[in-house]
Amino acid sequence: MKKFLLAIIIYYTATFSVTAQTLYGVTFNGGNRGGGTIDQFVPATNILNVPQSFESFAANPHYTNLIQGANGKLYGMTALGGNSGAGVIFSYDPSSAIYTMLKDFDNENGAFPQGSLVQASDGKLYGMTFQGGSDNAGVIFSFDPANSIYTRLVDFDTTNGANPSGSLVQGNDGKLYGMTNQGGALGSGVIFSYDPASTTYAKLKDFGIGSGAYPYGDLVQTSDGKFFGMTFQGGMYGYGAVFSFDPVSSDYVKVMDFDSTNGANPSGSFSLSDDGKLYGMTQLGGGSNAGVIFSFEPSTASYTKLKDLDSTNGANPQGNLIQAADGKLYGVTYQGGGNGSGVIFSIDPATSVYTNLKDFDNTEGGFPQGGLLQASDGKLYGLTLKGGISSIGIIFSYDPQASAYAKLKDFGANINGSKVSASLLLAGNGKLYGMTVYGGTGGNGIIFCYDPVTNTYTKLKDFDKINGANPYGNLVQASDGKLYGMTAGGGTNGYGVIFSFDPSSSVYTKLSDFDSTNGANPYGGLIQANDVKLYGMTTRGGSSNYGVIFSFDPASALYTKIADFDGANGGNPNGNLLQADDGQLYGMTLNGGNGRGGTGLGVIFSLDPSTLKYTKLQDCDTSSGANPYGSLIQATDGNIYGMTSAGGENNYGVIFSYSPSAGVYNKLTDFDETNGATPYGSFLQTSDGKLYGMTANGGSNTLGVIFSYTPSTATYTKLLDFNGINGANPFIGSAFVEGPEAGPLPVALVSLTGKNSGNSNQLTWKVDNEQHLDYYQLERSVDGQNFKEISQIKATGNNSYSYTDLVAGGSFLYYYRLKSLDKDGHFKYSIVIKIRTGLKGLAVVTPNPFRDKLIVNIESPLQQKVIFMLSDLNGRKLYRDSKVLASGSNIIEINEAGRLSKGTYLLTIIESGETQSIKVVKGD
């Protein structure tokens, strides 16, 4: 008989407890830092706690400056990033170096801001977005820094102006004035006013090609009450124009045309100096066609070119100048300088002396598009469009007195990670493991650990693109104790990787690169099947770019593409596979299939891992459920359950069941937005028989809900609404995992051992009961993930226990674990053991001693690949080969062709993750 004791292992899905259930989940958005949450949910009390909140990320500030609010904080916007990818409002406190995300833009309330904020006399911040709103032409909004209330005030449209790229300015009359880049009667932008007191919007002037068109910057009001500005194009020569506008008389006057020699295509704004002149820059034109710095005297319409910019000292400015306390004008250029990434410069308006102060180097920021702000501490603050750790911009300061530059904040870096998509993994050490899609030192995501007992969050690994980036799936702990996962991007080919991470040593290993042909961009996770191989799917790649099903053997590092999705048989899976009690692998695809006349709304399928036969089982359609993102689970009733993100009566998705034995699909309930909508994840079944899940949208706050579904009574119950603070929008692969409550837990069980005896598995264990454990559950799984209770045992002290589990005849792999419960309702898992029925004993090697050939007689319970290795007693590998064994008796010949000298060697046989080692002797 073969006995073995295995290392600690635990899996993340479908666990069962008796009482005091504590479920852990993640959300993609929300939390007090905007970047998602780890949530702790107790169904018995319906209480949701947030032990960990991730920071959201912002990206790429466009044509924007910082402003300093009355409270001393700096406020700004980015054009990208945030929960919806549409930009954010943020604050940065220069005294404490605290960065805070304040508001995520979205398409409905405004998206992709390209200008700056202004603080008006009422204390509120006002700004505009380039897109979003009812006509997707941008909005005017207010944001109150005192209470963080955001209000959409005006929706731009093509008639009254569209797509503003600049900022607002408050005029002497208290109204806000601004320009749009497009829209209006001639499609070239407008000048407008907005009165905060009366909430009245008025279009004041339509730009046209002849008088100036497509302005990017802001207006500036001079002492006579007129506004001056610049247009990017139009005018006599098509290079833009300088104009004045009188808000009292509505008189618009083009006062100067750019002609390329004196500058071309200004994309910034004027700065009003204390000498009464307006100072500005053009993006192009001048002697080197790299832009110019100029002054303009409003009263006489006198233009003076002060400096031709060039690639050496700074080129192509896209913002505005600022006059600092020392009287000099300061600005930044988008390109040029020593590294080509732009510069910080000063120019003295009295002498026209230009000084390059700082070359951006991209690492510490690069390609600034806006201007600078001089704050109350005397330092200049600004933003860059690109550069920094994540190459999506930074906040920086420059001290003109000390000539000191400092990078203050990397957008997108978020050292401890941002945005968790899939479920957590509860490992054998009782800790929860997961990955973030973004953040980390390179912005490519991280692997993290959360200890629910000590409430400790630890970053374990930064993804670095070369070895993988942006994981959307979950981790799985395999029988070797390592964690395995995939990334959607990065790697040698940029299509993602398969990797392992050893939690005991923190060693990360890239195992395989996806290459598009064999699959690309996986958005799900791996499972370990009965044959000990890892199975997974990719969302894209393969012969038709609809994704593939593959296996990966961790013992041999062999990747095998099993099946290509081709659209007709399904396409673009986003979840995991499930190995059910019948040994088959089941899964879903987001698209493809022939539901309702070939609409391609996804399929449910099975795959036989022994024959590699793929079978499409069910076409999704608009009536019974469409476009599933998540994974399937098998419940205690034997049925398979899942969710779709769309379709059903309300087109918000459905809950369904599928019977593997009968091949019957049933729609069970329709999501209806009020009680939850568009689920992207999967279920967890607990010991009360209920299925627990989350939706990405819907509910009272439209941010998703937590719900339960009871299969026996077909009862759906909304349990809790996500409200943003407690999380929002659980994303692809989201699912609960049962974990320990915070607080003291019993010590780990001392041992759990097992052995196979024909058609039964005999298990014995010894328990250290110093923690006064109440009783145990013995649980069994056929896939290492879906554990089900097979016995309860009353704890009677420090005793030994035994149990005989009758199992099906033939060769099968079973997983066992114990779950302990103390009198306070806290639980912990034992190690997991693996027992295969039908083992015939160890391999027999003849002859021994041998000359050139070894004959290995080995019994295999199933068709499988086995690895044979010869090594010397110092561990050096001298021979390695793999053979596919048939079920039953196998005769394997190992021919080392006389390469080995006389002596003693070790023959190692790796079979289904189990290792046999036999000493062999080479003689004469």
Compute the CA torsion angle 696, 699, 702, 705 (nearest 10 deg): -30
Highest-pLDDT range among 37-51, 253-267, 874-888? 253-267
Please tell me whether residue 73 adopts helix, strand or coil conformation. Answer: coil
Least confident of 24-33, 256-265, 814-823: 814-823
Please tell me whether residue 595 adopts helix, strand or coil conformation. Answer: helix
Query: Which of the four pLDDT bands, split at 50, 70 and 90, describes residue 253?
Result: very high
pLDDT mean over 500-507: 96
pLDDT mean over 291-312: 96
pLDDT for the residue 840? 43
How many C-beta atoms lie closer than 10 Å to residue 272's C-beta?
16
pLDDT higher than 70, residue 757: no
Q: What is the pLDDT of residues 564-580, one digit of tens each?
A: 999 999 999 999 999 99
CB 323 within 8 A of CB 253: no
Give the pairing type, strands 88-93 and 74-78.
antiparallel
pLDDT for the residue 924? 72
Largest distance between two CA atoms of the chain: 112
Query: Which of the four pLDDT bands, split at 50, 70 and 90, describes residue 13?
Result: very low
- Is the alpha carbon torsion for 746, 751, 754, 760 positive or negative? negative
For 7, residues 6+ apart whose C-beta sits below 8 A from its C-beta are 428, 479, 480, 481, 831
How far is residue 9 from each of residues 116, 400, 499, 569, 915, measured CA to CA in Å?
53, 58, 18, 35, 18
Query: Which of the four pLDDT bands, split at 50, 70 and 90, describes residue 887?
Result: low
CB 418 within 8 A of CB 429: no
pLDDT for the residue 678? 97
Q: What is the pLDDT of residues 221-247, one digit of tens each?
A: 999 999 999 999 999 999 999 999 999
For 147, residues 6+ apart whose C-beta sits below 8 A from its C-beta are none
pLDDT mean over 361-380: 94
Size of the chain in residues = 924
**Rounded Cα–Cα distance for residues 794 and 922 (Å):** 55
Instruction: Select from 637, 605, 633, 636 the least CA-distant residue to 618.
Output: 605
Phi, psi of 532, rounded to the nearest 5 degrees: 75, -5
pLDDT mean over 659-680: 96
Compute the CA torsion angle 748, 754, 759, 760 (nearest 10 deg): -60
DSSP string over 547-565: -EEEEEETTTTEEEEEEE-
Least confident of 13-22, 516-525, 786-795: 13-22
pLDDT mean over 499-503: 97
Phi, psi of 595, rounded to the nearest 5 degrees: -60, 130
pLDDT higher than 90, residue 183: yes
Average pLDDT, the chain: 88
pLDDT mean over 740-767: 61
**Rounded Cα–Cα distance for residues 366 and 387 (Å):** 5
Instruction: Select from 667, 658, 697, 702 the least CA-distant residue to 679.
Output: 697
**Rounded Cα–Cα distance for residues 533 and 911 (Å):** 11
Helix (H) or strand (E) holding 148: none
Please tell me whether residue 597 adopts helix, strand or coil conformation. Answer: helix
How far is residue 880 from each of residues 26, 864, 870, 900, measured CA to CA in Å?
44, 17, 7, 13
Q: What is the pLDDT of residues 404-454, one digit of tens each?
A: 999 998 887 678 888 899 999 988 888 999 999 988 887 889 999 998 877
pLDDT higher than 60, residue 838: no
**Rounded Cα–Cα distance for residues 599 and 620 (Å):** 9
**Rounded Cα–Cα distance for residues 208 and 231 (Å):** 10
**Rounded Cα–Cα distance for residues 815 and 787 (Å):** 8
Query: Which of the four pLDDT bands, split at 50, 70 and 90, describes residue 879?
Result: confident
Phi, psi of 274, rounded to the nearest 5 degrees: -70, -10
Write the DSSP symbol of residue 591.
B
**Rounded Cα–Cα distance for residues 392 and 662 (Å):** 53
Please give the structure tokens belonging to residue 348: 């003295």
pLDDT mean over 723-742: 85
How far is residue 123 from each of residues 145, 206, 641, measured CA to CA in Å?
8, 30, 53
The amino acid that residue 380 corresponds to is L
pLDDT for the residue 767? 66
Instruction: Select from 54, 168, 167, 43 the least CA-distant residue to 114.
Output: 167
**Rounded Cα–Cα distance for residues 261 and 922 (Å):** 89
For 893, residues 6+ apart whose C-beta sits below 8 A from its C-beta are 853, 854, 855, 856
Query: Which of the four pLDDT bands, split at 50, 70 and 90, describes residue 888?
Result: low
Q: How far apart are the first and last CA of the chain?
A: 34
The amino acid that residue 337 corresponds to is G
Query: Which of the four pLDDT bands, split at 50, 70 and 90, describes residue 775?
Result: low
Please give the structure tokens belonging to residue 508: 């990360």
Residue carrying the six token digits 């039964």: 760
3-state secondary structure 617-665: EEECECCCEECCCCCCEECCCCCEEEECCECCCCCCCEEEEEECCCCEE
pLDDT mean over 313-335: 96
**Rounded Cα–Cα distance for residues 253 and 433 (Å):** 64
pLDDT higher than 90, residue 780: no
Name the E strands within 94-235.
Answer: 98-104, 118-119, 125-128, 139-144, 149-155, 169-170, 176-179, 190-195, 200-206, 220-221, 227-231
For 869, residues 6+ apart whose C-beta sits below 8 A from its C-beta are 877, 879, 880, 907, 908, 910
Higher per-residue confidence, 649 vs 50: 649
pLDDT for the residue 842? 53
pLDDT for the residue 905? 84
pLDDT higher than 50, residue 748: no
pLDDT for the residue 907? 85
Least confident of 279-293, 384-398, 440-454, 846-860: 846-860
**Rounded Cα–Cα distance for residues 132 and 114 (Å):** 12
pLDDT for the residue 691? 97
pLDDT higher than 90, residue 724: no
Please give the structure tokens belonging to residue 70: 């009355």
